[in-house]
């Protein structure tokens, strides 16, 4: 029986490219209000899993439930409308637009316009920028912000859509240690507000600091799943990383 506490449920999900079993029958349950990380050596299937989740790829088999609704074959746009927020590994913002304008784009939902028009949209975007600590940078053109702040703007843009689940693709990539510290604090604050977060990340120190649960892939299969302390000591996980 599936409790109401599951925000995202992958059941027996596979993605094959011809003969390549990039993802091969994985089950992952992301509990509501938790931070859940997906890790694994290079080529283990993390990116493919993320792309099956965000709708860029369709699964060869299996199902994906977001808050109990089957999104396995929904378009990326439909998934966003159903509460899936995301950021990209390589930041994708409009560099010549202000931080506020970029976040307002994220607050818009074509099929589900927010009541109150532009003023409400602006309020929502400003609130998201304030949440990530960039209220005073709202009018600054994105390309003149430091990289770490651009990353925060991208997270704010996802938050402005009021997602049920936030998908982060290597959020710490390219950040310096100060910026990583700020990211850790932000993720903890988001979790404190009840948001559910699913992320792929290479930085193990960050993963250990923020994750409630970790799933580990190797050769497209899940080899471990659990709390960070137990998973990162799991012999098969240690072996998979040393064998890289």
The answer to whether 90 contacts ligand ADP (rule: CB under 6 A) is no
The answer to whether 237 contacts ligand ADP (rule: CB under 6 A) is no
Q: Which of 45, 55, 163, 228 binds ligand ADP (CB under 6 A)?
A: 45
Q: Which of 6, 31, 34, 43 binds ligand ADP (CB under 6 A)?
A: 43
The answer to whether 17 contacts ligand ADP (rule: CB under 6 A) is yes
The answer to whether 48 contacts ligand ADP (rule: CB under 6 A) is yes
For ligand ADP (CB under 6 A), the number of binding residues is 11
Find the part of the chain contacting ligand ADP (CB under 6 A) among 45-53, 176-184, 186-194, 205-213: 45-53
The answer to whether 22 contacts ligand ADP (rule: CB under 6 A) is yes
The answer to whether 94 contacts ligand ADP (rule: CB under 6 A) is no
> Which of 181, 105, 97 minimizes the C-alpha distance to 144?
97
Query: In a 10 Å sphere around its CB, with 0-12 CB exposed, 13-18 middle and 19+ buried, how is residue 98 labelled?
Result: middle
* b/e burial code for range 22-41 (CB count within 10 A of at least 16 → b): bbbebebbbebebbbbbbbb
Cα radius of gyration rounded to whole Å, the chain: 18
Pairing label, strands 69-70, 6-17: unpaired
Residues contacting residue 122 through CB under 8 Å, at least 6 positions apart? 100, 104
Helix (H) or strand (E) holding 117: helix 117-131
Closer CB to ligand ADP, residue 11 or residue 51?
Answer: 51
Binding site for ligand ADP (CB under 6 A): 17, 20, 22, 40, 42-48
């Amino acid at each position: 029986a599936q409790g109401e506490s599951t925000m995202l449920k992958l059941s027996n999900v596979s993605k094959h490219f011809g003969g390549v079993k990039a993802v091969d029958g994985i089950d992952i349950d992301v509990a509501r209000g938790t931070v859940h990380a997906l890790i694994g050596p290079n080529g283990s299937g993390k990116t493919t899993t993320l792309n099956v989740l965000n709708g860029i790829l369709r699964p060869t088999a299996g199902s994906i439930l977001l808050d109990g609704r089957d999104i396995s074959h929904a378009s990326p746009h439909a998934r966003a409308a159903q509460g899936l927020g995301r950021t990209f590994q390589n930041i994708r913002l409009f560099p010549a637009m202000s931080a506020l304008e970029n976040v307002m784009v994220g607050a818009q939902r074509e099929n589900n316009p927010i009541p109150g028009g532009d003023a409400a949209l602006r309020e929502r975007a400003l609130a998201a920028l304030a949440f990530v600590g960039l209220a005073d940078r709202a009018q600054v053109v994105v390309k003149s912000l430091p990289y770490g702040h651009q990353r925060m703007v991208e997270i704010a843009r996802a938050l402005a859509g009021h997602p049920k689940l936030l998908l982060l693709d290597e959020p710490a990539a390219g950040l310096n240690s100060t910026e990583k510290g700020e990211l850790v604090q932000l993720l903890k604050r988001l979790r404190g507000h009840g948001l559910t977060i699913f992320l792929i990340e290479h930085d193990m120190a960050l993963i250990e600091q923020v994750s409630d649960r970790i799933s580990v892939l190797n050769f497209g299969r899940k080899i471990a799943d659990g709390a960070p302390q137990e998973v990162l000591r799991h012999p098969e996980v240690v072996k998979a990383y040393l064998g890289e």
